[in-house]
């Protein structure tokens, strides 16, 4: 590690602090965090296994759900093992390239998840507003293309972030990151160079992903609700809206925590650091935990298949 003028450093690694201000409670915090991570892994792996073995679930909505499960596994696994290492062993040291790779995975797959929610909104729009064309429009090939498009968009949007830091901002005021993972703004605020381009680019990506995606999803649901209102009976309206319930819950679970965390990070200077860091971790943990639960509870086919598996295991025992 090189030092310049005793002020700026060119570190080869950083030191993550975990939950700053709550270091004395790290061992106790590891209990709920490890439990939530275990629930997230088991829940999403279960969704993948159920959809794989149940041929009646080989439909666009469930393929998108599998994509969400994979994304949630990547998001939680990119942060939680390292955080638990900090809690249990004080292993906060992380190499520069590993830090940038973690940053890329977190922001890239959060962007991909937003794209999948947009694709799911399109699926619900076609299924409800143009049901006769649903099977011809949302083919398995189209579902795959939508998933690949969401992935490519995430790589295209987020790829420049770690590259700009690596190439433009080699010097830092300190190597200690007051966070539990390498979040973009947490790293950029430590740099000695001009970070305005990074800040502007980060805000632009946030606008493109959060604002435009949510506006497109809202527009699709406005058209869906207009179609539902035109149905002849209340029972038909409730049944049709019921197919959208899980998707709406998952959207709120994803967008609300990430929006609150982003706003607090940029504008909530009066918020205590421990609260901010905890919220930042929760927005990476809450969707992976709740998405499988929401879909298992609200989706009849998944719920029935899970109950069937549990009954079979009980009989075997």
Judge whether 4 lies within some domain: no
Between CA 221 and CA 301 the distance in angstroms is 23
CATH code of residue 20: 1.20.1070.10
Bridge partners, residue 16, by sequence: 177
Tell me: the pLDDT tens digits for 102-138?
Answer: 999 999 999 999 999 999 999 999 999 998 899 999 9
Mean pLDDT in residue range 52-79: 92
**CB atoms closer than 10 angstroms to residue 277:** 24
Judge whether 33 lies within some domain: yes
Between CA 71 and CA 53 the distance in angstroms is 20
Judge whether 3 lies within some domain: no
C-alpha dist (Å) from residue 19 to 57, 82, 189: 41, 12, 17
pLDDT score of 269: 67
Q: ∠ CA(54), CA(238), CA(228), 5° rounding?
A: 105
Judge whether 8 lies within some domain: no
Judge whether 200 lies within some domain: yes
Q: Are 165 and 11 in contact (CB under 8 A)?
A: no
Judge whether 145 lies within some domain: yes
Mean pLDDT in residue range 67-90: 95
How many domains does the chain contain in total? 1
Q: Is the pLDDT of residue 11 over 60?
A: yes
The phi, psi pair for 170, rounded to 5°, reads -85, -15
**CB atoms closer than 10 angstroms to residue 50:** 23
Tell me: the pLDDT tens digits for 175-233?
Answer: 999 899 999 988 998 999 888 999 899 889 988 888 899 999 999 999 998 988 887 77
Q: Is the pLDDT of residue 288 over 90?
A: yes
pLDDT score of 307: 78
Range(s) of the domain holding residue 275: 13-312
pLDDT score of 311: 72
Name the residue among 261, 312, 295 with its Cα closest to residue 63.
Answer: 295
- Structural tokens at position 17: 């602090």
pLDDT score of 104: 97
Q: Is the pLDDT of residue 3 over 60?
A: no
pLDDT score of 158: 96
Judge whether 7 lies within some domain: no
Q: Is the pLDDT of residue 309 over 90?
A: no
Q: Are 85 and 91 in contact (CB under 8 A)?
A: yes
Judge whether 76 lies within some domain: yes
Mean pLDDT computed over every residue of the chain: 88
């Amino acid at each position: 590690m090189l030092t310049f003028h005793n002020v700026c450093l060119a570190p080869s690694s950083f030191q993550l602090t975990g939950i700053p201000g709550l270091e004395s409670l790290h061992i106790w915090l590891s209990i709920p965090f490890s439990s939530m991570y275990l629930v997230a892994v088991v829940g999403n792996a279960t969704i993948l296994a159920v959809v794989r073995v149940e041929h009646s679930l080989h439909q666009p909505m469930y393929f998108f759900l599998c994509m969400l499960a994979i994304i949630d596994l990547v998001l939680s696994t990119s942060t939680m093992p390292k955080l638990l290492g900090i809690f249990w062993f004080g292993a906060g040291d992380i190499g520069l390239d590993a830090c940038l790779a973690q940053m890329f995975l977190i922001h890239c797959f959060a962007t991909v998840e937003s794209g999948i929610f947009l694709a799911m909104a399109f699926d619900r729009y076609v299924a409800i507003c143009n049901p006769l064309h649903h099977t011809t429009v949302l083919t398995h090939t189209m579902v795959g293309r939508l998933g690949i498009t969401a992935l490519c968009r995430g790589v295209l949007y987020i790829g420049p972030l770690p590259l700009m830091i690596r190439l433009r901002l080699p010097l830092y005021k300190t190597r200690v990151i007051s966070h539990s993972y390498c979040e973009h703004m947490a790293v950029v605020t430590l740099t000695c160079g001009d970070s305005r381009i990074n800040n502007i680019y980060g805000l632009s990506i946030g606008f493109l992903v959060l604002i435009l995606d949510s506006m497109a999803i809202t527009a699709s649901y406005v058209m869906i609700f207009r179609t539902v209102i035109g149905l002849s009976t209340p029972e038909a309206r409730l049944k049709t809206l019921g197919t959208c319930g899980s998707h709406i819950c998952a959207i709120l679970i994803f967008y609300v925590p990430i929006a609150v965390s982003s706003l607090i990070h940029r504008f909530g200077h009066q918020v205590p650091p421990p609260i901010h860091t905890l919220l930042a971790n929760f927005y990476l943990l809450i969707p992976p935990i709740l998405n499988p639960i929401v879909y298992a509870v609200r989706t009849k086919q998944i719920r029935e298949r899970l109950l069937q598996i549990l009954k079979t295991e009980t009989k075997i025992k």
